[in-house]
Amino acid sequence: MMKRLTFLVLLCTAVSIALPAQDAHLTRMAQGVAGLRKAKTEARNRLVAEWSASQMPKVTLLDNLGTSAGEARGKGCNPFMVNQVVTYVHNRQNTGMVSKGDYFNSTEKDVHYSAIEKTVQPRQTVTYSLTGHIGHQQFMFVAYDPKAKLTFRVGGKLATDRGNGVAFVDLGAVSRQDAIAITVTNDTDKAQSFVILNHNPQRR
């Protein structure tokens, strides 16, 4: 009996070691976004300064996510104002866009973190697809309303609830040609805003 228990303990330990750790900077980004709930301009400015500090990894807007039927747009949408925050951070970290034809892209060379804010209509599901990502992909979601009934999935994997309206998905390794499907379902009778955060190491 003792040998069997020892074997089970060792097996559980091996499994826990095999599981990849949640990316620390991605977690900090999610905490920063959550801090913007009902925030004033000063809080957003502080986050811009924090994310664009010289020692911080570069971040870009996950603009290549595209749009989806079921999104809500217009006044009152995207209350976090994360898209504006990331735009300011990107401009501080880089020389800016070269031409009007350029756009933000989560596959920008040597930029491993990206974020975007979306709003889903009541009782709707939005679906997105990402390609060009390489390596071990991790995603975090932050709902503006921490009590909102939102379901997040990446590549068919259900996001794990981290509390306070934050959810996490470890997708594992992907290749450049793989299409990463992201779906968000809103099970409430009002539009719900959320932020998608991604860590894309751009290498296997």
Q: What is the CATH number of the domain that holds 137?
A: 2.60.120.380
Residues in a beta bridge with 158? 153
Is 182 part of a structural domain of the chain?
yes
Nearest Cα neighbor of 44 from 76, 1, 88 is 88
Q: Is residue 5 part of a domain?
A: no
Rounded Cα distance, 135 and 41, in Å: 36
pLDDT score at 58: 96
* Model confidence band, residue 138 (pLDDT cutoffs 50, 70, 90): very high
* pLDDT tens per residue, range 176-191: 999 999 999 999 999 9
How many domains are contained in the chain?
Answer: 1
How many Cβ atoms sit within 10 Å of the Cβ of residue 64?
Answer: 20
Token pair in block for residue 29:
């980004």
Range of the structural domain that residue 61 is part of = 22-199
Q: Is residue 2 part of a domain?
A: no
| Mean confidence (pLDDT) of the chain | 88
Higher pLDDT: 16 or 160? It is: 160
3-state secondary structure of 16: helix
Amino acid at 193: S
In a domain, 70, yes or no: yes
* 122-137: pLDDT as tens digits: 999 999 999 999 999 9
> What confidence score (pLDDT) does residue 77 get?
92
pLDDT of residue 140: 98
Q: Are 84 and 120 in contact (CB under 8 A)?
A: no
Decide if 52 is inside a domain.
yes
Any domain includes 147: yes
Within-domain flag for 159: yes
Q: Across the strands, what pairs with 168?
A: 140, 160
Q: Which residues contact 101 (CB under 8 A, 6 or more apart)?
A: none
What is the value of pTM for the model shown? Answer: 0.86
Task: Provide the pLDDT for residue 191.
Answer: 97
